[in-house]
Each structure stands twice: as C-alpha cells, then as structure tokens.
Amino acid sequence: MSRTDEAGLLVNASPVRVFRALTDPEALVEWLPPEGMTARFERFDARPGGGYRMVLTYSDATGSPGKSSIDEDVVEGRFVELTPGVRVVQEIEFEADDPSFAGVMRMTWEVIARGSGAQVVFRAEDVPDGISSKDHIDGMTSSLRNLAALVER
C-alpha cells in the first residue's frame, strides 16, 4: 500500500470559501460523494485530533459493490491538520472485511490561491490495493466538480 492518487481543479471561488466547504459537514455531504453516491455523517468534529464517521451509499452497487456492505462504504476519519484557507489533512480507514481495503489512507486537500480563484488539489497516499487507481481518480475528479458547482454558486 504505497500508491498515491491525485486530482486537481481550478475553481472560481476564494480559498476561504473553498476551505469552508472542506470543513463544513453540511457542505461535505453535498459535494464529497462522487457521482452515483450520497453521504451522511454519524458524527463530525473538525479540529486537529477530532474525527468523523461517514457513510457513503451507492445509488446502484451492481457494478461496484461497497467496501463495508453491498451498497455502502463506511469511513472512519481523523483530522491531522487544519490550516485555515490552505489545507486539510486527514487519515481515513474503511470498515471492510476484505483485507485489500485495509489500512490507513492519508488524504490531503490543498487550496492554492490563483488570481480570484483557487486551485484545489486532492492527494491520497497509501491507497488500499482494492481501490483501482482509475476508479479512485475518477471519483476524486467527480467530487471536485461537485465542489466547484457548490462554491461557484
């Protein structure tokens, strides 16, 4: 488990607005789930050392079953770093019986000022072997498009 996946997108919103969407649970459930999924938090505490439990539900899991159950991915997350307007670093772990999804993945969401907008970069380190690189990057890119749609409103 040493693979790193990355995706980025330039959005037409200030770094402050983007950062707010990275740390607000109501915004996160709106933009974070990739196409074909919904999300809910069972708990959420955005501070270094704080964490969350998120349930992602597939609209149709026939082609890609969930990691935690047939139609769900359950994620335990811990906030490692929150640098306002700049970066969110977290460690996440999927609840899964399949060892190919085991381990802690580090997710870094970085916000870089670009003129009147912001470049948003998602980097996932130590991606579990059970997650294909293509599917993961596609999902990250889908989430970024959702984020842009939210913060550009």
For residue 124, what is the domain's CATH number?
3.30.530.20
What's at 75, amino acid-wise? V
Domain that holds residue 78: 3-151
pTM of the complete model: 0.90
What's at 35, amino acid-wise? E
- Rounded to the nearest angstrom, the gap between the alpha carbon of residue 50 and the centroid of all alpha carbons in its chain is 16
Q: Taking a C-beta distance cutoff of 8 angstroms, is the pair 12, 116 a contact? A: yes
Domains held by the chain: number: 1
CA–CA separation, 129 vs 1, rounded Å? Answer: 6
* pLDDT digit string (tens) for the chain, length 153 residues: 589 999 999 999 999 999 999 999 999 999 999 888 899 999 999 999 999 999 999 887 676 665 777 678 899 999 999 999 999 999 999 988 889 988 899 999 999 999 999 999 999 999 999 999 999 999 999 999 999 999 999
